[in-house]
């Protein structure tokens, strides 16, 4: 029997939404929906965060998706894993065929400068793994450099939560930087859709989704790429 495909999901430990006084963390449907797609495909899903241990959920996402059956099922089962995430040093990256960065505003604060997870991503990608992200999770690609020194997103077609979506949420000032702008500065070919429309971009083995509605389609694309390999 073939070994299970393993997915390493990267989540944030950061709970404070800039200087707003509000709480953030990982965004429920951007973890729950991909998790559901991966598990139904027979994949094994593990979680890592910069500090390990408890990874906080954005409380607003729990409220916004209280009627979403996939999110509610995840809170009853899979969410336990978010209390005991691995530290980067505990990860044997050679086991993973997919590395996936989940969204939420939290990652904007603790992933852009986290070289431990960035180095795991470089190793995974250069060993043939799929690298993926949804929404603000794409910020996890910001510090990732390949062995030749280039940004992993240089020349790649990617997406993320857009500047227009950030402005719509009135959180532009709360962010340490604008993710779309940063990805463009790193040489990415950034493709954004209208606010909160489904948008998944595939560029070789890099798969990115723009926002919460893009989470399931992004995961479905990953499954199709894994199965085609």
Burial 55-81 (b: 16+ CB within 10 A, else e): bbbbebbbeebeebebbeebbeebbeb
Q: Of these residues, 71, 135, 180, 220, which one is catalytic?
A: 135
Single out the residue of 118, 123, 100 nearest to residue 37, CA to CA.
100
Q: Are 56 and 22 in contact (CB under 8 A)?
A: no
Q: Note if 14 is an active site residue.
A: no
Q: Of these residues, 30, 105, 165, 166, which one is catalytic?
A: 166
Distance separating the N- and C-terminal Cα atoms of the chain: 17
Q: Note if 33 is an active site residue.
A: no
Q: Note if 105 is an active site residue.
A: no
Q: Of these residues, 14, 33, 105, 136, which one is catalytic?
A: 136
Strands 206-209 and 200-203: antiparallel
Q: Are 153 and 121 in contact (CB under 8 A)?
A: no
Which residues are tagged catalytic? 135-136, 166
């Amino acid at each position: 029997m073939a070994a299970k495909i393993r997915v390493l999901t990267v989540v944030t430990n950061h709970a404070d939404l800039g200087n707003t006084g509000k709480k953030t963390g990982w965004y429920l449907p951007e973890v729950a929906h991909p998790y559901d797609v991966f598990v139904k495909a027979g994949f094994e899903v593990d979680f890592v965060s910069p500090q390990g241990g408890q990874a906080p959920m954005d409380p607003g996402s729990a409220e916004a998706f209280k009627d979403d059956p996939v999110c509610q099922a995840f809170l009853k089962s899979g969410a336990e894993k978010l209390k005991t995430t691995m530290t980067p040093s505990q990860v044997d990256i050679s086991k993973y065929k997919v590395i996936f960065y989940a969204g939420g505003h939290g990652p904007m604060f603790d992933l852009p400068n986290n070289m431990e997870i960035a180095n795991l991503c470089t190793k995974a990608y250069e060993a043939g793994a799929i690298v993926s992200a949804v929404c603000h999770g794409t910020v996890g690609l910001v510090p990732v450099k390949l062995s030749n020194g280039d940004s992993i997103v240089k020349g790649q077609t990617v997406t993320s939560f857009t500047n227009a979506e950030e402005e719509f949420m009135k959180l532009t000032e709360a962010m340490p930087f604008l993710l779309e702008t940063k990805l463009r500065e790193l040489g990415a070919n950034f493709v954004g859709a209208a606010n909160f429309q489904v948008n998944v971009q595939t560029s070789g083995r890099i798969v990115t989704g723009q926002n919460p509605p893009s989470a399931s389609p992004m995961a479905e694309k990953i499954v199709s790429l894994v199965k085609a390999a």
